[in-house]
Chains A and B, each alone.
Chain A
Amino acid sequence: QQQVKQSPQSLIVQKGGISIINCAYENTAFDYFPWYQQFPGKGPALLIAIRPDVSEKKEGRFTISFNKSAKQFSLHIMDSQPGDSATYFCAASWEGFQKLVFGTGTRLLVSP
């Protein structure tokens, strides 16, 4: 119930294409859904986050889509660039819960 299932494990996208990473959860208490971006040898950094009162949030080329009824959320990277090549983690939590539950990560490679 505390798990967040992330797919795919790895993804190769051509430059200019759309990268889509999906996550699913079971615990309906979750009310905070962030995405983290991690470059090799660095700590993960918050990329974008959403709360369930909205179905979509967009920041530049990055968009989170949220489907509360399906208990799924996804990250869309528009016009993917080689600099976007990194590992992406989804996560979930709720107010009062001391931790973030992370997905297993998706390694994205954007080919030039």
Chain B
Amino acid sequence: SQTIHQWPATLVQPVGSPLSLECTVEGTSNPNLYWYRQAAGRGLQLLFYSVGIGQISSEVPQNLSASRPQDRQFILSSKKLLLSDSGFYLCAWRGPGNTIYFGEGSWLTVV
């Protein structure tokens, strides 16, 4: 069966520090991968998606970047965090029939 893991689960970072969130999917090959952000009590904002290794599409101009160095690995990064980067970050993959499956999420607080 397919599983998705993302880490760390919780992160508190100072303004101006770098960020790296990692996500891996197991049990499938060449999946579409996604990074979403959810502000407290708000909806799901698609940040990046990838249809293959090295292929990244950016949905919204951000202080963030994404990379896909391996087939089942998706990384969200920032060189210098802003207060507005705080939120709940969700990695997801697309399964059969367009179904999207989410990870457990990573809480980022920028202080």
Q: Which residues of A contact B (CB under 8 A)?
A: 32, 34, 36, 41-46, 49, 89, 91, 93-95, 97-100, 102-105, 107
Contact = CB atoms under 8 A, between A and B. Distances in A.
Given A42-B104, A98-B49, A34 B99 contact: yes
A102 B98 contact: no
Contact of B44 (A34, A42, A44): A44
Interface of B: 32, 34, 41-44, 46, 49, 51, 57, 90, 92, 94, 97-105, 107
25 contacts: A32-B97, A34-B98, A34-B99, A41-B107, A43-B90, A43-B92, A43-B104, A43-B105, A45-B102, A46-B99, A46-B100, A49-B97, A49-B99, A91-B100, A93-B98, A94-B98, A97-B98, A98-B32, A98-B49, A98-B57, A98-B94, A99-B49, A100-B100, A102-B43, A105-B43
